[in-house]
């Protein structure tokens, strides 16, 4: 894992000290809320429905056990004993007191973490593939590239006040596990003539106008990457719609001027930027990459696995993925127990996951955009022991990528922007489809729920998506089908009129029944939908 050098640490420490002073001035009355609000937001502190909320950045979703223990400690000491893992691979604490924040940020800084750039119109936390460095299907580990971008984008003076927030994702596998093309810039590391470079997509996003990012440049060599991205951001910074918040994202700019025109302007800008010499020497990239070297895996680890225990076998079949090294596997811990709240983990659960990472996964954890937690490097021989401990902690639900492995944003239970609650709907769906055989029969089915049009719950990218709306003061839910955030990326289509909370669960059941009746061999829900279209589903739902 990357370790802060003296510059990283000094910058973070200086920011903590600065914010501590700002908090003091706010509490003593030297600052009004209007003056203080932009400052607290720069440090990830929001005011939400019930209290202050602190959003902690987890760079490209990678954590050490020490860092996870610290998150547990903060939840226990300053919050109400739990945290919420988000689709941006971050963690949110929901009940933070203002005068505790300097101490919390000091605690975070002690384990090389912070909440900087988790809000505001800047480049946010870089997201990545949760299986990075372990996935059997990756061409290289994308995290050194992501770390390079983290360093470039942290406190970047020119990009601190962009027209709107900016989200970048880096992957390096064929399978897209990070919704890469739904980011402002999506990067896929590819290989050309034996050399790795970046395929750069730009102008994707969700929110009220979902867009899939078009390819802007097929191959940017590593030695040009920062200059090229600098040029991408400069063109956006210059022409992005600052006059209208709803049109300010880069997706609108690229949609309006067209990918070709945007590309041409970026090329022109690139010619200028390249001369500035901001691209680091190869040795610097190699220095960063060395931090992400494969841990010292057991070279003699066996591929044998005793699957005679039925529940263990189910869990292995569903939640364990192929590792690039023999005798090892990637474990995904589901944070979607049937009665639970998607993405929430208690302090005790965080501590347990951290302990498991230290003992069995070379001290590494990952957060997924689907709000689960990954142990990336587990020996197959240790899987049973890991599973038993997860079972005891209520963390062994074998439902990865099934209908109950839902993404749900906090919705109206926590979020001040929400129109409707997300979590109770998620719980009702989970309850209806709780039977594991039934879930497994339905197969891969990505269900995603947002409590308002901001789409934090990725509903546009759900095989089944649900959007909460306010219908004359009542919660109402719009249903959509056919979205995907994976390599078969697509934006979902609305089925028709919305439903109340129970109605939407019934409608989903009628749709999945229809799928079961119509599906052909090996087809997932989304495949059948794509083949037969909306009409038969509409008929099934609305009669």
Partner 1 sequence: MKLLTGNDLNTGLVTWWTGKDWSIHIEDAVDVGEDGETIAAAEELARRINGPYVIGGELTAEGPRPAHIKDRIRALGPTVRVDLTLKPNDPSAAERVI
Name the one range near partner 1 by CB under 8 A: 8-16, 97-105, 189-197, 383-391: 97-105
Nearest to residue 328, comparing CAs of 366, 365, 294, 301? 301
Binding to ligand SF4 (CB under 6 A): which residues in 448-487? 450-452, 454-457
Residue 297-336 contact track with partner 1, rule CB under 8 A, x = bound? ----------------------------------------
Residue 159-178 contact track with ligand HEM, rule CB under 6 A, x = bound? -----x--x-----------
327 versus 424: smaller Cβ distance to partner 1: 424
Binding to ligand HEM (CB under 6 A): which residues in 202-221? 205-207
Cross-strand partners of 478: 467
Nearest to residue 387, comparing CAs of 440, 320, 470, 326? 320
Cα torsion through 375, 377, 382, 388, rounded to 10: 0
Please spell the DSSP secondary structure of 396-412, one letter per residue.
Answer: ----TTSTTS-EE--GG
**Residue 452 interacting partner from ligand SF4, ligand HEM, partner 1, none (CB closer than 5 to 8 Å by kind):** ligand SF4
CA distance 351 to 261: 50
Which of helix, strand or coil describes residue 231?
A: helix
**Residue 451 interacting partner from partner 1, ligand SF4, ligand HEM, none (CB closer than 5 to 8 Å by kind):** ligand SF4
Does 417 help bind ligand SF4 (rule: CB under 6 A)? yes
CA distance 149 to 162: 17
- Residue 94 beta carbon to partner 1: minimum distance, rounded to whole angstroms: 8
Instruction: Give the relative orientation of helices 525-532 and 501-518 as an angle to the nearest 10 degrees.
Output: 80
By DSSP bridging, strand 344-346 and strand 52-56 are unpaired
Nearest-5° angle of CA 354, CA 355, CA 356? Answer: 90
- Residue 46 beta carbon to ligand HEM: minimum distance, rounded to whole angstroms: 6
Binding to partner 1 (CB under 8 A): which residues in 39-68? 47-52
- In the list 354, 415, 425, 540, the residue contacting ligand SF4 (rule: CB under 6 A) is 415
From the number of C-beta atoms within 10 Å of its C-beta (0-12, 13-18, 19+), residue 105 rates as buried
Binding to partner 1 (CB under 8 A): which residues in 466-525? 473-475
**Residue 354 interacting partner from ligand SF4, partner 1, ligand HEM, none (CB closer than 5 to 8 Å by kind):** none
Binding to ligand HEM (CB under 6 A): which residues in 242-271? 249
Name the one range near ligand SF4 by CB under 6 A: 275-283, 343-351, 389-397, 446-454: 446-454
CA distance 374 to 376: 6
Q: Judge whether 121 and 165 are in contact, CB under 8 Å.
A: yes
Name the one range near ligand SF4 by CB under 6 A: 266-274, 378-386, 413-421, 531-539: 413-421
**How many CB atoms neighbour CB 39 within 10 A?**
16
CA distance 138 to 324: 9
Q: Which residues bind ligand SF4 (CB under 6 A)?
A: 409-411, 415, 417-418, 450-452, 454-457
Q: For binding to partner 1 (CB under 8 A), which residues are involved?
A: 26-27, 29, 33, 47-52, 80, 95-99, 341, 412-414, 416, 418, 421, 423-424, 427, 473-475
């Amino acid at each position: 894992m990357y370790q802060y050098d003296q510059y990283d640490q000094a910058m973070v420490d200086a920011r903590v000290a600065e914010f501590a002073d700002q908090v003091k001035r706010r509490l003593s009355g030297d600052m009004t809320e209007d003056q203080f609000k932009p400052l607290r937001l720069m440090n990830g502190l929001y005011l939400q429905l019930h209290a202050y909320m602190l959003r902690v950045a987890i760079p490209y979703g990678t954590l050490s056990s020490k860092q996870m223990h610290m998150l547990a400690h903060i939840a226990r000491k300053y919050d109400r004993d739990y945290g919420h893992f988000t689709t941006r691979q971050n963690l949110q604490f929901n009940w933070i007191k203002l005068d505790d924040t300097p101490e919390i940020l000091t605690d975070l800084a002690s384990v090389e973490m912070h909440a900087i750039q988790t809000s505001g119109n800047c480049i946010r936390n870089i997201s990545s593939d949760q299986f990075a460095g372990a996935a059997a299907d990756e061409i290289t580990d994308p995290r050194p590239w992501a770390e390079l971008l983290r360093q470039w984008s942290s406190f970047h003076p020119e990009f601190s006040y962009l027209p709107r927030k900016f989200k970048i994702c880096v992957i390096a596998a064929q399978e897209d596990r990070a919704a890469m093309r739904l980011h402002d810039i999506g990067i896929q590391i590819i290989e050309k003539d034996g050399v790795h470079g970046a395929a750069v997509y730009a102008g994707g996003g969700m929110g009220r106008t979902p867009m899939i990012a078009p390819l802007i440049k097929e191959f940017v060599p590593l030695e040009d990457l920062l200059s090229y991205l600098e040029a991408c951001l400069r063109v956006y910074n210059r022409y992005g719609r600052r006059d209208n918040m709803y049109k300010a994202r880069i997706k609108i700019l690229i949609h309006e001027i067209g990918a070709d025109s945007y590309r041409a302007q970026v090329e022109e800008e690139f010619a200028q930027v390249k001369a500035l010499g901001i691209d680091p020497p190869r040795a610097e990239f190699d220095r960063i990459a060395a931090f992400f070297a494969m841990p010292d895996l057991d070279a003699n680890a066996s591929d044998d696995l005793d699957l005679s225990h039925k529940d263990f076998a189910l869990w292995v079949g569903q939640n364990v993925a192929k590792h690039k090294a023999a005798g090892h596997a990637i474990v995904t811990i589901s944070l979607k127990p049937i009665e639970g709240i998607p993405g929430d983990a208690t302090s005790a659960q965080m501590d347990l996951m951290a302990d498991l990472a230290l003992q069995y996964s070379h001290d590494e954890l990952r957060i997924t955009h689907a709000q689960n937690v990954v142990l990336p490097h587990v020996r197959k021989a240790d899987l049973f022991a890991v599973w038993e401990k997860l079972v005891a902690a209520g963390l062994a639900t074998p439902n990865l990528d099934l209908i109950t492995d839902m993404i749900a944003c906090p919705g109206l239970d926590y979020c001040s922007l929400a129109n409707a609650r997300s979590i109770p709907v998620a719980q009702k769906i989970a309850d209806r489809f709780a039977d594991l055989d039934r879930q497994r029969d339905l197969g891969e089915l990505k269900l995603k729920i947002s409590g308002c049009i901001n789409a934090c719950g990725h509903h546009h990218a759900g095989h089944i998506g649900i959007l909460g709306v306010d219908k004359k003061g009542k919660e109402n839910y719009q249903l959509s089908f056919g979205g995907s955030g994976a390599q078969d990326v697509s934006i979902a289509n609305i089925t028709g009129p919305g439903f109340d909370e129970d109605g939407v669960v019934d409608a989903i059941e009628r749709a999945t029944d229809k799928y079961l009746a119509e599906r052909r061999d090996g087809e997932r829900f989304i495949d059948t939908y794509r083949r037969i279209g909306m009409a038969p589903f509409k008929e099934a739902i609305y009669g």
